[in-house]
C-alpha cells in the first residue's frame, strides 16, 4: 500500500534552515510529483511547490523563491524540502503529498511541525 512518511518535528532559531524528509513506499517513486504544502497554526493550506522525482525538476511558489529547495534521492525513494532564513512566520506543519501531473494530491504524509523560536 502507498505510504508517505515524514521526518520528525523540528525546533529552529530565526535565521536557521530546516530540512524535512518525505519517504515514499508502495509505488514507483519516479512516477508521481511530490508536492509540499504548509499550514500555519489555525490557518489554511498553502502550496509551496513541487518536484518531479524522475528528473528532479521543480516549480516553487513565488513567495518561497530563493529560500526553498526541493530535492530527492531516488535510491531511497525520499524527497526533501529545505527552507532557509527561517522566521517565526515559518512556524507551521509542513506536508508532503504525492500527486499526478494533472489531478489532486492523493496520498499525504503525516506532517512535520517546524517551530521557529528564539
Partner 1 sequence: DIQMTQSPSSLSASVGDRVTITCRASQGISNYLAWYQQKPGRVPKLLIYSASTLQSGVPSRFSGSGSGTDFTLTISSLQPEDVATYYCQKYNTVPRTFGQGTKVEMK
Question: In whole angstroms, how close is the CB of 95 to partner 1 at the nearest point?
Answer: 7
For residue 94, give the H/E element and its range.
strand 92-99
Question: In whole angstroms, how close is the CB of 14 to partner 1 at the nearest point?
Answer: 26
List the one residue out of 104, 89, 79, 81 whose CA is nearest residue 43. Answer: 89
Q: Are 19 and 81 in contact (CB under 8 A)?
A: yes
The contact pattern for partner 1, residues 30-69, with x = CB under 8 A and - = no contact, is -----x-x------xxxx-xx--------x-xx-------
Partners of 92 in beta bridges: 114
Question: In whole angstroms, how close is the CB of 40 to partner 1 at the nearest point?
Answer: 12
List the one residue out of 17, 46, 22, 44 whose CA is nearest residue 107. Answer: 22
Secondary structure of residue 31 in the 3-state scheme: helix
Closer CB to partner 1, residue 39 or residue 84?
39
Size of the site for partner 1 (CB under 8 A): 22
Using CB under 8 A as the criterion, which residues of the chain lie in contact with partner 1 when the complex forms?
A: 35, 37, 44-47, 49-50, 59, 61-62, 95, 97, 102-106, 108-111
Amino acid at each position: 500500500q502507498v505510504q508517505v512518511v515524514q521526518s520528525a518535528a523540528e525546533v529552529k532559531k530565526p535565521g536557521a534552515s530546516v530540512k524535512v524528509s518525505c519517504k515514499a513506499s508502495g509505488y514507483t517513486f519516479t512516477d508521481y510529483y511530490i508536492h509540499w504544502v504548509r499550514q500555519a497554526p489555525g490557518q489554511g493550506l498553502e502550496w509551496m511547490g513541487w518536484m518531479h522525482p524522475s528528473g528532479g525538476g521543480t516549480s516553487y511558489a513565488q513567495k518561497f523563491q530563493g529560500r526553498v529547495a526541493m530535492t530527492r534521492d531516488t535510491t531511497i525513494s525520499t524527497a526533501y524540502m529545505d527552507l532557509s532564513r527561517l522566521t517565526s512566520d515559518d512556524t507551521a506543519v509542513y506536508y508532503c503529498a504525492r500527486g499526478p501531473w494533472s489531478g489532486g494530491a492523493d496520498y499525504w504524509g503525516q506532517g512535520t511541525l517546524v517551530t521557529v523560536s528564539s
